[in-house]
């Protein structure tokens, strides 16, 4: 089991390059299943989840070639229409092969993802949407078995805003017969990036980024070349790290327009933010001021940034309230932060953090991807040494994080 050893107390200074977005790359990799032509992708991040998804697609028969930063995928010879439990249990985003497989091949067998650390995370909305498009779906032995001669366009209303639910059904609708309207659709930028890729492949999609997306199905999609958007959560994570530890950093290859809520909260905490063409700079020369956050679907405050802000609030001046409205169990990092001396009370989906002047380094354990990032941030700002265990969670969604942080002056290293 690999761990990270962090010597706290160093400020972060310098430039860091932001990688391609994990949550755009994962659905876009699955979009390769929608055509027999080659899909060329630039800026695909080097992450464990991306490697897992590549493995799954190759298992199905997708040929994948990677040279430098270009990834080429070709689903001309698909032999298997299945996503097995072993794959799906480690990465629930594998559910994203369901829509494309049913849309292009008329059949799919995808394991139910099961729950994960942050919540039960059902996929009922994905299934309901495909049934509305005419798919026959049976759940047997833990697998979703879907069949459809050809999907038909339908009007689908999401009871809950679902990012991958919107993405799965948008991909399915791209090849359906007729028009599909997705209402109460997710507005996340990663949904827009997927839509842009599908449109480049010949899909007819309007309204991505709004809560109503119209898709006119076409017979076939063709190959395209698409550049994966920058990762807004990686960007936010580095900015919060500098706000918590103090410093002066510049993110390159980053987009500020998709981080407005997070940038506003950082300014409220006392950080000075400067935005240019594709850079975001943050200066923090004092103890942060506590900021309240309430997570909600985009463009509100992202749930994937909740844990990181909690780490900053542990050291801030004043008290903060953190309300998690998306997932029912996304406070796993609280116990670990308390080991560093943080003062946090949790009542249901609300955490109240009383800021402390300092945190003491300790050995702590990562439980999920963004909780791991939170613990790294706390370790950077704590006094003394912090050992973060189970950092395989971190490697799922952050590309070479200790190298990037060392490049900013952090005293951090990987130990066996």
Both structure tokens of 107: 């059949």
Instruction: Return the number of the residue (91 or 215) whose C-beta is nearest ligand EPZ.
Output: 91
82-83/279-284 β-pairing: unpaired
What whole-number distance in Å separates Cα of residue 67 and Cα of residue 58?
A: 17
Instruction: Kindly name the residue from 74, 116, 314, 374 that is annotated as catalytic.
Output: 116
Q: Least distance from C-beta 125 to ligand EPZ, angstroms?
A: 3
Helix (H) or strand (E) segment spanning residue 334: helix 332-339
| Residue nearer to ligand EPZ on the CB measure, 92 or 109 | 92
Considering beta carbons, is residue 230 or 397 the nearer one to ligand EPZ?
397
Report the chain's C-alpha Rg in angstroms.
Answer: 21
Closest to ligand EPZ by CB, 122 or 299: 122
Q: Residues in the site for ligand EPZ, rule: CB under 6 A? A: 22-23, 26, 93, 119, 121-126, 160, 162-165, 303-304, 326-327, 369-370, 397
Closest separation between CB of residue 268 and ligand EPZ, Å? 22
Give the β-pairing of 63-67 and 70-74.
Answer: antiparallel
> Are residues 150 and 130 in contact, defined by beta-carbon separation less than 8 angstroms?
no
CA distance from start to end of the chain: 6
* Cross-strand pairs, 267: none
With H, G, I as helix, E, B as strand and everything else as coil, classify residue 351. strand
CB of 341 to ligand EPZ, least distance (A): 26
- Taken as a whole, the chain contains a residue count of 416
Minimum distance from CB of 213 to ligand EPZ (Å)? 15
Q: What minimum distance in Å lies between the beta carbon of 211 and ligand EPZ?
A: 13
Q: Rank residues 122 and 407 by Cβ distance to ligand EPZ and give the closer one.
A: 122
CA distance 88 to 374: 25
- E strand or H helix at 127, and its extent? helix 124-132
- Calculated CA dihedral for residues 55, 116, 235, 325, nearest 10 degrees: 150
State yes or no: is 116 an active-site residue.
Answer: yes
Active centre residues (catalytic): 116
């Amino acid at each position: 089991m690999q761990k990270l050893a962090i010597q706290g107390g160093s400020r972060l200074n310098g430039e860091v390059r932001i990688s391609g977005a994990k949550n755009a790359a994962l659905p876009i990799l699955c979009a390769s299943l929608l055509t027999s032509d080659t899909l060329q992708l630039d800026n695909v991040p080097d992450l464990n989840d991306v490697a897992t998804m590549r493995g799954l697609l190759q298992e199905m028969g997708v040929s994948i070639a990677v040279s430098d930063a270009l990834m080429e995928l070709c689903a001309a010879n698909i032999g298997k229409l299945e996503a097995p439990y072993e794959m799906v249990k480690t990465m629930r985003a594998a559910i994203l092969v369901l829509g494309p497989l049913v849309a292009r091949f008329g059949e799919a067998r995808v394991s139910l993802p099961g729950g994960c650390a942050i919540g039960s995370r059902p996929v009922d909305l994905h299934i309901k949407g495909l049934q509305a498009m005419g798919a026959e779906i049976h759940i047997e032995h833990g697998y979703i078995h879907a069949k459809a001669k050809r999907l038909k366009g339908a009007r689908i209303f999401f009871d809950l805003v679902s990012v991958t639910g919107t993405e799965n059904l948008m991909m399915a609708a791209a090849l359906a017969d007729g028009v599909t309207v997705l209402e109460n659709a997710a507005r996340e930028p990663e949904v827009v990036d997927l839509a842009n890729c599908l449109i480049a492949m010949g899909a007819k999609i309007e309204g991505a980024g709004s809560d109503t997306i119209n898709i006119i199905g076409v017979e076939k999609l063709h190959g395209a070349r698409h550049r994966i958007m920058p990762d807004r959560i990686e960007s936010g994570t580095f900015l919060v790290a500098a706000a918590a530890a103090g410093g002066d950093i510049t993110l390159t290859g980053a987009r500020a327009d998709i981080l407005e809520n997070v940038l506003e909260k950082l300014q409220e905490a006392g950080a000075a933010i400067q935005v240019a063409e594709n850079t975001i700079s943050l200066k923090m020369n004092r103890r942060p001021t506590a900021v309240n956050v309430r997570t909600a679907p985009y463009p509100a405050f992202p749930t994937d940034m909740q844990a990181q802000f909690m780490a900053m609030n542990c050291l801030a001046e004043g008290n903060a309230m953190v309300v998690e409205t998306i997932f029912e169990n996304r406070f796993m990092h609280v116990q670990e932060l308390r080991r560093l001396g943080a003062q946090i009370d949790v009542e249901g989906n609300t955490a109240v953090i009383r800021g402390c002047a300092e945190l003491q380094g300790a050995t702590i354990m990562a439980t999920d991807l963004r909780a791991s990032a939170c613990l790294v941030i706390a370790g950077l700002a704590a006094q003394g040494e912090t050992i973060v265990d189970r950092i395989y969670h971190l490697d799922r969604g952050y590309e070479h994080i200790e190298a990037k942080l060392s490049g900013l002056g952090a005293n951090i290293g990987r130990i066996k």
